[in-house]
Amino acid sequence: MAETPPSIERDPALATRLDEAWAARGEAYSPRTHLLDGQGRARFVNRLILEASPYLLQHAHNPVDWHAWSDETLAEAAERDLPIFLSVGYATCHWCHVMEEESFDNLEVAAMLNRYFVPVKLDREERPDLDQIFITATQLQQGHAGWPNSVFLMPDGRPFHTGTYFPRAQFIALLRAVAEAWQGERRAQVESVAGQLAEAINRQQPAAGAAPAELSPSIFNVVTGQLAGMFNEDEGGFSRSQQFPQEGFILFLMDQWRRTGDAVAREMAVRSLDAIVAGGIHDHAGGGFHRYTVDQNWRTPHFEKMLYNQAQIGRALVEGWEMTGRLAWRRAAERCFDYVLRDMTDPEGAFYAAEDADSLDAQGRREEGAFYVWRSEEAAAALGADADWALSALGLDQRPTVEAGAVAHLDPDESVDFERLDAVLEHLRVAREGRARPVRDEKVIAGWNGLMIRALAEAAEAFGRPELADHAARAAEALWRRLWDGRRLKRLWAEDRAIGAAALEDYAWLGLGFLALSDAGSGQVWLDRAASLAEAAADAFSDPSGRLRMAEADGPFGPIFDSSDGATPAGESSAAELFARLSLRSQQPAWVARAGRLIGALAGTVQQVPLLRPDALVAARVLAEGESELRRTLPGGVIRARMREAGRRLELEIAPGWHLTAADPGDAEMVGAAITGAAAKWPPSHALEAGFSGRPVQVHDACVEVALAPEDAVVTLRLQACSNRVCLAPVETAFRLH
């Protein structure tokens, strides 16, 4: 039986339950603690042993008497009249691990937390809605925020003091000061701060009944100009300190270029992707990308690898390859997908959440980046005859920026013999497999899987690799089987069970993934399932303000709303995009109305600070102007158009029962099919009725390939689709080639 944690009296029935839950985990289970008894067994166990979240389980053997977030926990704090200490983090967070080892696995700290507080652990990846509230509180109070997020709460959940990582001595002093304030004359001051902070958070929420606004047509140029002001002209990216991929900015800029030809937007996207692909943020040996770098030249990563980064950088590289034809980008995207399929995929095809920044070094010590870095002699031994060239090409002969060794990176301004390099990198990857791998967070998150499903499906179309769509469909089937109950979606799959109500982002990201699968030829079923998710989201998260809430359940202050597009798109931005793209694939006006209503409700805040909502701006453009990618569905949903081979081939896929038509050339209402900006050679008469220049053209239930000889930077397609009963309105769509 485990020891009782310090400074508490544990109910015997609870103690028995916890011991039984611990025993049920079996011999393969390895408690994460340095507090061991004489037989090498963990001394303590707490309520987190009952949870499925890998992050919570990492703390299940701390001497801290942790609770999971729940209404019962808030009620206990109220009954005992104690403040709550809330620690928010995630399983692959380096500084979360540091604070755990320094403080939460320390008996002195545990005694104070257990005596004077109700200590609560929260996995931000399990409850993104609550994380949004408490990270906002820290940002408002401290001017910055991050994880671990350390928040002191009133028993009703209102925060009154916030911070992030605290070294142990500072943390002990803080616990003592807060306990004294709570028990002494400063209790009223604590109450006052909690009220003020709650009001500040509430002021950021939308007002019910606010009139919908409209986006200014100039807003897209405004955002491009703001990004140009932030742009690091020397190194790429949008920072001069730490560098995050900022995929939302890059995707916005590529959309801006495709629609307007804005050369500044294109250059910022190109320079940023060049830097990301060349830098140490790119895991050159194993494929994939780390979360961010601690320097501005992209060389020294913070080594955790998140599924959402693989998906979003992968998408950006696919679109960037179509924009520029840069083979280095296609190679990086394909190696990223290879990494996910090899190392981040569960037996049924769904995708794991992340890999840790930390791993064990050769001496068995936990160290950030130990799995990834190289000492020059280690690398040379793995590389053999090509060692000198490879060490130079990968920068492994340069002074390391990480104490444990050098990080492989390329010079973005130098050409690389990738055929030679890839053979070298495979030697490094195989040699690296002999090291202790970082801990993998094996929970499956619905929305993050949706992001990866979308990236794989889009890559399958762009690269002509249908097997990538097959992998995406396999993951989608696993998600649908595990997490959809016919009416609502669950957020997580962990320990062989579905956990927690899905957030808005889960519905939106998975819906967009399903749309991409449908577009990639995986079947009508995925379009139908995307619509089901969109219907459910519109029903579950609607608010009188016209906006969509992050979660069905309210937080401590009422409904919770996304504040911005950040490391991932906000759920509302992606929901607007989902509604808008569904409107292009359906003749149901409800999708246009839903997208317009949501974008109108967001427009006021977007207009004020547009840089915070690049994904919402892209969604607004999809609704107003249609899609801009080289692969797009045209309004009405019966024609898919794909521009291939740098504009030398156009494919038109026409739905069964529909055809292109050009009736009497004298009928101005019947425009038929026309192409400008390129000389066009339509297929022979067995696919089309002869000609198209001023003569009738009919294409029935076919995929038509039109050979082009581009004459301009923009090729414009104008056509009309008809069935045997109705003709849709004529549409015009333009493809920017260079």
Instruction: Tokens for 578, please give them.
Output: 């989902």
Instruction: Tokens for 693, please give them.
Output: 């220049």
Residue with tokens 């009497």: 664
Element (H, E) at 85: strand 84-89
The mean pLDDT of 342-357, rounded to a whole number, is 97
Between 625 and 695, the higher pLDDT residue: 625
- Exposed/middle/buried for 174, CB within 10 Å: 0-12, 13-18, 19+? middle
Instruction: Please check whether residue 231 lies inside any domain of the structure.
Output: no
Instruction: Tokens for 69, please give them.
Output: 């977030």
User: In sequence order, what are the residues at sequence separation of 6 or more whose Cβ sits closer than 8 angstroms to the Cβ of residue 118?
Assistant: 67, 73, 76, 77, 80, 82, 83, 84, 85, 155
Q: Beta-carbon neighbour count of residue 696 at 10 Å? A: 18
CB 431 within 8 A of CB 416: no
CB 600 within 8 A of CB 212: yes
State whether 649 and 587 are in the same domain.
no
Q: Beta-carbon neighbour count of residue 444 at 10 Å? A: 25
The mean pLDDT of 702-708, rounded to a whole number, is 84
Residue 595 CA to residue 597 CA, distance in Å, equals 6
Beta-bridged to residue 31, according to DSSP, are: none
Instruction: Please check whether residue 308 lies inside any domain of the structure.
Output: no
CATH number at residue 583: 1.50.10.20
State whether 654 and 620 are in the same domain.
no
Instruction: Please check whether residue 85 lies inside any domain of the structure.
Output: yes
Residue with tokens 């690799």: 465
The 8-class DSSP code of residue 611 comes to: G
CB 640 within 8 A of CB 652: yes
- Exposed/middle/buried for 569, CB within 10 Å: 0-12, 13-18, 19+? buried
State whether 21 and 140 are in the same domain.
yes
**Reduced to 3 states, what is the DSSP secondary structure of residue 545?**
coil
Residue 543 CA to residue 723 CA, distance in Å, equals 39
The mean pLDDT of 453-462, rounded to a whole number, is 98
Residue 693: pLDDT band (50, 70, 90) is very low
Task: State pLDDT tens for residues 497-518.
Answer: 999 999 999 999 999 999 999 9
User: Of 55-59, 696-700, 728-732, which range is least confident?
Assistant: 696-700
**Reduced to 3 states, what is the DSSP secondary structure of residue 36?**
strand
pLDDT on residue 385: 84
Residue 41 CA to residue 44 CA, distance in Å, equals 9
The 8-class DSSP code of residue 27 comes to: T
Instruction: Please check whether residue 371 lies inside any domain of the structure.
Output: yes
Kindly give the interhelix angle for 187-202 and 168-183, rounded to the nearest 10 degrees: 110
Instruction: Tokens for 385, please give them.
Output: 């005859």
State whether 45 and 189 are in the same domain.
yes
pLDDT on residue 662: 55
Residue 210: pLDDT band (50, 70, 90) is low
What are the φ and ψ backbone dihedral angles of 402, each rounded to 5 degrees?
-125, 135
Q: In the predicted model, is pLDDT for residue 666 greater than 70?
A: no
The 8-class DSSP code of residue 213 comes to: -
pLDDT on residue 656: 86
CB 353 within 8 A of CB 299: no
State whether 617 and 680 are in the same domain.
no
CB 149 within 8 A of CB 45: no
Percent of the chain whose pLDDT exceeds 90: 81
The mean pLDDT of 557-561, rounded to a whole number, is 90
Instruction: Please check whether residue 679 lies inside any domain of the structure.
Output: yes
CATH number at residue 679: 2.60.40
Domain that holds residue 420: 358-437
State whether 405 and 526 are in the same domain.
no
Residue-level length of the chain: 738
pLDDT on residue 78: 97
pLDDT on residue 704: 84
Residue 687 CA to residue 689 CA, distance in Å, equals 7
Residue 124 CA to residue 566 CA, distance in Å, equals 14
Residue with tokens 């969509």: 548
- For residue 89, the one-letter residue type is G
pLDDT on residue 28: 87
Residues of 519-543 as b/e, b for ≥16 C-beta within 10 angstroms?
Answer: bbebeeebbebbbbbbbbbbebbee
Residue 420 CA to residue 570 CA, distance in Å, equals 41
Residue 460 CA to residue 467 CA, distance in Å, equals 7
The mean pLDDT of 274-298, rounded to a whole number, is 97
pLDDT on residue 2: 87
| Phi and psi based region of residue 56 (left: phi greater than 0; alpha: psi -120 to 50; beta: remaining) | alpha
Q: In the predicted model, is pLDDT for residue 453 greater than 80?
A: yes
pLDDT on residue 672: 65
- Boundary-marking domain end, from 614, 631, 648: 631
Instruction: Tokens for 585, please give them.
Output: 């694939």
pLDDT on residue 411: 93
Task: State pLDDT tens for residues 131-181.
Answer: 999 999 999 999 999 999 999 999 999 999 999 999 999 999 999 999 999
Instruction: Please check whether residue 691 lies inside any domain of the structure.
Output: yes
Residue 204 CA to residue 737 CA, distance in Å, equals 42
CB 639 within 8 A of CB 652: yes
pLDDT on residue 647: 92
**Reduced to 3 states, what is the DSSP secondary structure of residue 324?**
helix
Residue with tokens 């807003």: 219
Q: In the predicted model, is pLDDT for residue 564 greater than 50?
A: yes
- Exposed/middle/buried for 207, CB within 10 Å: 0-12, 13-18, 19+? exposed
Residue 472 CA to residue 456 CA, distance in Å, equals 6
Tell me which residue of 225, 459, 237, 200 sits closest to 341, measured CA to CA: 459
User: Of 187-191, 233-237, 481-485, 681-685, which range is least confident?
Assistant: 681-685
**Reduced to 3 states, what is the DSSP secondary structure of residue 358?**
strand
- Boundary-marking domain end, from 583, 612, 631: 631
- Boundary-marking domain end, from 631, 657, 676: 631
Furthest CA-CA distance within the chain? 95
Q: In the predicted model, is pLDDT for residue 612 greater than 60?
A: yes
User: DSSP letter string over 270-286?
Assistant: HHHHHHHHHSTTB-TTT
Instruction: Tokens for 458, please give them.
Output: 């889009």
Instruction: Please check whether residue 307 lies inside any domain of the structure.
Output: no
Give how far Cα 182 sits from Cα of 85, 190, 512, Å: 12, 7, 48
The mean pLDDT of 343-370, rounded to a whole number, is 93
Element (H, E) at 699: strand 699-700
pLDDT on residue 118: 98
Instruction: Please check whether residue 4 lies inside any domain of the structure.
Output: no
pLDDT on residue 218: 95
Q: In the predicted model, is pLDDT for residue 665 greater than 50?
A: no
CATH number at residue 46: 3.40.30.10
Task: State pLDDT tens for residues 417-451.
Answer: 999 999 999 999 999 999 999 999 999 999 999 99
State whether 111 and 134 are in the same domain.
yes
Residue 598 CA to residue 213 CA, distance in Å, equals 10
Instruction: Tokens for 247, please give them.
Output: 């995929």
State whether 642 and 626 are in the same domain.
no
Give me the number of domains the chain comprises. Answer: 4
State whether 46 and 174 are in the same domain.
yes
Between 586 and 161, the higher pLDDT residue: 161
State the average pLDDT for the chain. Answer: 92
pLDDT on residue 664: 44
State whether 559 and 693 are in the same domain.
no
CB 679 within 8 A of CB 649: no
State whether 646 and 627 are in the same domain.
no
pLDDT on residue 207: 66
pLDDT on residue 212: 77
Instruction: Tokens for 358, please give them.
Output: 């930390």
What are the φ and ψ backbone dihedral angles of 653, each rounded to 5 degrees?
-105, 120
Percent of the chain whose pLDDT exceeds 70: 95
State whether 36 and 184 are in the same domain.
yes
Give how far Cα 72 sits from Cα of 67, 75, 94, 372, 614, Å: 10, 5, 30, 43, 39
